Amino acid sequence: MSLLNPRILRFDSIDSTNLEAMRQARAGAAEGLCVVAREQTMGRGRLDRSWQSPKDAGLYFSIVLRPRLETSAWPLITLMTALAVRDALLRSSGVRADIKWPNDVCVNERKLCGVLAETVDTKIGPAAIVGIGINLKADSLPPTVYDLATSVEAVAGVKPDSVGVLAELLKAIGERYDLLQSPQGSEHTIREWCANSSYAFDRQVRVALENDTFEGTTRGLEADGALRVETAGGKMRFVRAGDVNALRATR
Ligand code: BT5
């Protein structure tokens, strides 16, 4: 998918770019429609959590995709997007970021970006709504997330050029999405993810599931993107939803 000339809907303020992209998809929007807002009043994370989205402090972006993928491969869209964000940050701002399973892009264990991929049924078939929030400015993060977040400005030491970040993001999503849908695309995406995430192998983590918490060592990804975690008792568990946190830092 070439995103060199995408259709971008821009808003000064909106509830959530994901919600708007979902509304557009339901109304028949084609693949590649993008929504960008200067501020979100109801920015969303996973599991009904919120994404702090102060005005002009970050990039708040969503895109409508209509993937030609087996349903089992749809979770790879989140991993592909995190890779695209990593590419875009490197090319636009020289920032080297880590990827934390499944949807965080971090620097020094602090969250620089979150990805929220959702699915929606529409008259012309199922769509994936992929939302990306990237903190750009250093001084705008609210106290609630101050300790766990960072921004491109804080990491790069200069004010980021948001137009340049968006341009690289569109390019990187186009490339990574094409690769994911090509023959062997799933395997390729998983290999690339493992090569670019310090969480892929041999990382001591605590996994928080909806009704359970356990610790173990990461052992790569399953074909559908699930994180393999080996417990102290030698049992392999496959994490498909939940939060993963490192027990100690490596980078
Ligand atoms: C995410 O959820 O990280 C997905 C965030 C996706 C945001 C984008 S912005 C454009 C699009 N439109 C939307 O409405 N959403 C998407 P999760 O893994 O559940 O993490 C949420 C948690 O991250 C919160 O509970 C906070 O602890 C933390 N958090 C909230 N705002 C943050 C921020 N600006 N920077 C860093 N961490 C933040």
- State the pLDDT confidence band at 76, using cuts at 50, 70 and 90: very high
Do residue 118 and residue 226 come from a single domain?
no
Number of structural domains found in the chain = 2
Do residue 156 and residue 45 come from a single domain?
yes
The verdict on residue 1 lying in a domain is no
123-134 average pLDDT score: 97
The verdict on residue 165 lying in a domain is yes
- Which pLDDT tens digit goes with each residue over 161-207? 999 999 999 999 999 999 999 999 999 999 999 999 999 999 999 99
Give the predicted TM-score (pTM) of the model.
0.96
Check which CATH number belongs to the domain holding 191 and give it.
3.30.930.10
Distance of CA 138 to CAs 11, 42, 61, 131, 155, Å?
A: 22, 21, 19, 21, 9
- State the pLDDT confidence band at 3, using cuts at 50, 70 and 90: low
Q: Give the residue, by CA position, lying nearest to ligand 1 atom 20.
A: 45
Cross-strand bridge partners of residue 63: 34, 130
Do residue 186 and residue 210 come from a single domain?
no
For residue 233 the two structure tokens come to 């008792």
5-9 average pLDDT score: 88
Q: What is the DSSP letter of 133?
A: E
- Measured in angstroms, how far is the CA atom of residue 125 from the centroid of ligand 1? 27
- Which pLDDT tens digit goes with each residue over 143-165? 888 889 999 999 999 989 999 99
How confident is the model at residue 144, as a pLDDT?
Answer: 85
For residue 180 the two structure tokens come to 């994911």
Q: Give the residue, by CA position, lying nearest to ligand 1 atom 3.
A: 114
Do residue 188 and residue 205 come from a single domain?
no
Is the pLDDT confidence value at 238 over 80? yes
How confident is the model at residue 249, as a pLDDT?
Answer: 65
12-29 average pLDDT score: 98
With b for 16 or more beta-carbon neighbours within 10 A and e for fewer, the 71-94 pattern comes to eebbbbbbbbbbbbbbbbbebbbe
Output the ligand 1 site: residues, CB below 6 A: 16-18, 40, 43-47, 49, 51-52, 60-62, 103, 111, 114-116, 131-133, 135, 145, 148-149
Do residue 68 and residue 41 come from a single domain?
yes
Is the pLDDT confidence value at 93 over 90? yes
Do residue 159 and residue 219 come from a single domain?
no
Cis bond leading into 102, ω under 30°? yes
The verdict on residue 18 lying in a domain is yes
- State the pLDDT confidence band at 123, using cuts at 50, 70 and 90: very high
Check which CATH number belongs to the domain holding 230 and give it.
2.30.30.100
- State the pLDDT confidence band at 65, using cuts at 50, 70 and 90: very high
Do residue 90 and residue 150 come from a single domain?
yes
Range of the domain at 239: 201-246
Do residue 125 and residue 238 come from a single domain?
no
The verdict on residue 2 lying in a domain is no
Do residue 188 and residue 209 come from a single domain?
no
Do residue 87 and residue 159 come from a single domain?
yes
Is the pLDDT confidence value at 131 over 60? yes
The verdict on residue 188 lying in a domain is yes
- State the pLDDT confidence band at 13, using cuts at 50, 70 and 90: very high
Q: Give the residue, by CA position, lying nearest to ligand 1 atom 34.
A: 52
- Measured in angstroms, how far is the CA atom of residue 223 from the centroid of ligand 1? 26
